[in-house]
Structure 1
Amino acid sequence: MSTGHDDLDAWKRQRTVTLAFELADSGRCEHFGDIAYTLQFERGLSISLIDDPAVRRQLNERCADAREALAPEPEPPEAPETVTTRAQTPSLLRRAASALRRSGTLASGLRSAAS
């Protein structure tokens, strides 16, 4: 024969387990310790109801899964900008010499400097 006291204990047990799994799935808790700390402030709930190695492991896994789901996806690495090498970019002297060559003053300037 069921008594009201048995029903109350069953309700407390169910509520404790339900809240523990809700906290684990929310992503706010990192592990079982955070869940136990949070539940200790709930009136009438007993941490001992969820203090079982199998339940701890399951809560820890659910916490990790929830936090992983909430974490932003890592951005793909950006393509590195094209790095110009020295061979691709002429030096200042080469650019000046090529400008002088195009204008035709390099050859005449060298002849006059030699004389």
Structure 2
Amino acid sequence: MSTGHDNLEAWKRQRTVELAFELADSGRYENFADVAYALQFERGMATTQALIDDPEIRRLLKERCGDARERSAPPPEPEVVEAQPSPRIAETDHAELPQAADFERTPSFLRRAMSIVWRAGVKPVNAGDLNSAAS
């Protein structure tokens, strides 16, 4: 009957180690002692003391906790490069810029288009000419 009990204890220990590794890999625990505490008091696993006593398990848990924290740490802030001052644009003399009065003397787009047509010798169409078409 002791073989059944031994198998159960081996299964409990294996399950405890697997769960300890899962907790360590989560990145929420600092070291093996934090994992053991979580197993014992948060999960109610009484066999956790065996983890603390086994130096190889302690080393693995410590290593896995550190690796998981490194993976879950936020990436470093990008280096801030100070912007170079932009070259100043030469001040312009506002007298050289077009004024509103300049635009009043400019012919409209339609007036410019019609002047091109008239210069080309195209005779404007009168409404009376359209009515005299042959029937």
TM-score when scaled to structure 2?
0.56
Which residue of the partner structure matches residue 51 of structure 2? 50
Go from structure 1 to structure 2 and tell me whether the alpha carbon gap of 1:9 and 1:38 turns closer, same or farther (over 3 Å shift). same
Q: CA offset at residue 43 of structure 1?
A: 3.4
Go from structure 1 to structure 2 and tell me whether the alpha carbon gap of 1:82 and 1:44 turns closer, same or farther (over 3 Å shift). closer
Q: CA offset at residue 49 of structure 1?
A: 2.0
- 1:12–1:44: 8 Å Cα contact kept in structure 2? no
Identity %: 58
- 2:36–2:49: 8 Å Cα contact kept in structure 1? no
Which residue of the partner structure matches residue 63 of structure 1? 65
User: Where do 5+ consecutive residues of structure 2 fail to align?
Assistant: 89-135
**Structure having the higher Rg:** 2
Output aligned runs, 1:25-44, within 5 Å. Answer: 25-41=25-41, 42-44=43-45
* Cα deviation 1:31-90 (Å, max 9, x = unaligned): 111101101123343122212222111111100100110111113202112269xxx98x
User: Where do 5+ consecutive residues of structure 1 fail to align?
Assistant: 90-115
Q: What SS does the corresponding residue of 1:3 show, helix, strand or coil?
A: helix
> What CA distance in whole angstroms lies between the structure 1 residues aligned with 2:40 and 2:49?
10
Go from structure 1 to structure 2 and tell me whether the alpha carbon gap of 1:23 and 1:44 turns closer, same or farther (over 3 Å shift). closer
> RMSD of the TM alignment (CA)?
2.5
Q: Which has the higher contact order (CA 8 A, sep 6+)?
A: 1
> What CA distance in whole angstroms lies between the structure 1 residues aligned with 2:72 and 2:27?
7
Output aligned runs, 1:1-115, within 5 Å. Answer: 3-41=3-41, 42-51=43-52, 52-82=54-84
- 2:39–2:45: 8 Å Cα contact kept in structure 1? no
